[in-house]
Structure 1
Amino acid sequence: MFTGIVQGTAEIVAIKEAEAFRTHVVSLPESLREGLELGASVAHNGVCLTVTAMEGERVSFDLMRETLRVTNLGALREGDRVNIERAARFGDEIGGHAMSGHVMAMAVLVELDEAPNNRRLWFEVPHALGRFLFDKGYIGVDGISLTIGAVRHASADHGPRFCVDLIPETLERTILVDRVPGDWVNIEIDPQTQAIVETVERVLASRGA
C-alpha cells in the first residue's frame, strides 16, 4: 500500500529493452535506499514496481507488457525523472489517502493556470473514469495524492475533466512542476470512491433503475 505522499524524485539512468518488456534503472539517493531489499515495492509515478537488482545507488525494476500499455512509464527515456514513494509500513502516518499502486489509465494535461505560489492543472480522463470524479474527492496523479478542485463533465467537445491545485511544496517535491499541456500522467482513482460508485451502480441495476 502507498499513501500518495511522494518522497522525492529519481533519475532513470539506464533502460534495457526486450520484446513487450523493459527494465529501467533509477539512481536512488541514500535516503530512499535505507532498508531497501530485493523484492521490495516502490512506486514510480504511482506504479507499484518490484526491486529486481541493486548496485549501490542504481536500483533496477522490471516493467511488464501491461504496465507499458496502461502507464506513462513506457514513454520514459534515460535522463527523465519519476516520482518515488516507498511502500507504507504498519504504523506510518497516512498523510494522503490509501493507494494501491495499480494505475487505471492515463490522463492528458489540457490546461495550465499559473498564479503566485499556485498552479492549477486541468486533466482529461477516459470516459469510463468520469463517473468516479467528484468535487473535493481524492485522486492519484503520477502517484501523488491530490484533492479534486472541480469537475467538468464530458461534452461534445471533450471528455470528462478535473483540476487540481498545487502548492509550492508539491511543485518542489514532484515532477508535476515540469508538466506542460499535452503531457500524459498516470491516474489511480481513490479505491473507496470506486467501491462506493460501483456498489451503487449494481444496486440500482438490480432494481431496474
Structure 2
Amino acid sequence: MFFAVARRASRVLLDRTTPSWKRRYGVYANNREGARQAVRHLFRHGDRCIVYVNGPADLSQSIDRRLGVEDVMAEKGIPQSALAVLDGGFTLEGAYAAMSAYLERGSTQSQPLRPVFAANDVMALGVLRALKEHGVCVPSEVEVIGFDDIELARMLEPALSTVSQPAIEMGALSAEVLLRLLRGERPRVRRHTLAPSLRLRATTRAL
C-alpha cells in the first residue's frame, strides 16, 4: 500500500515493501516480531507443532510473518517438519477451505490437533468457522491467534486473540512524512518500523 501524489511523484509506502522499497520512504509494522510474539505464546505449554495459515506467498507481510514463525521454531529446536503451512490467500473463504481440508485429512491420519496462527484476522475467522463445524472446541482443544486486530476481532464469540498493529500511529506517521515530501523536504529517516503487541482474548487459554 502507498500514498501517492502523481504531480510531485511523492510516495510513502505503508506496511508493504516493493522491489524498490529501500529507495522509498515508508512506515511499517514489525511483522516478523509480531509473528514471533504469537508463536512463542502458542508454544508456551510445550507444543512441538503448529499450523500456520499464510497469505499470498509473494507479499512482504506473508514473507515476514512466516519468517517470524520459523525464527521461534529454530530457537526452540523444533524441526520445520512440525510446521503445517496452509494457503489461506488472506481471505476468510480461503482459510476456511484450507483448514477444513486439513482437519479432514487429520481425522483419517490420527494427527494431533495443533495450535493455529493465522497471518491475518480475516483468515482467523475462517479457521474458527472450520474448527466449529468439525466439532473442535476453541480454546480448550485448539488455540487460535490472528494478526492485525481488526474491530471484529473484539466482537467475536469467542473474542479473537491477535497481534495488534499500531494502525493509528502508522497512518499518522505516513501522513506526516508525505506532507513533508510535498513541501519539498527530504526527511532523514526513510524507513520507520513500529512495534506490534500481542492482544490475548478468548481464543487462547489462560496462562
TM-score tier, shorter chain, comes to under 0.3
When you count helix as a share of all residues, which structure comes out higher?
2
Higher strand share: 1
Normalized against structure 1, the TM-score is what? 0.22
* TM-score scaled by length of structure 2: 0.22
The higher radius of gyration belongs to 2
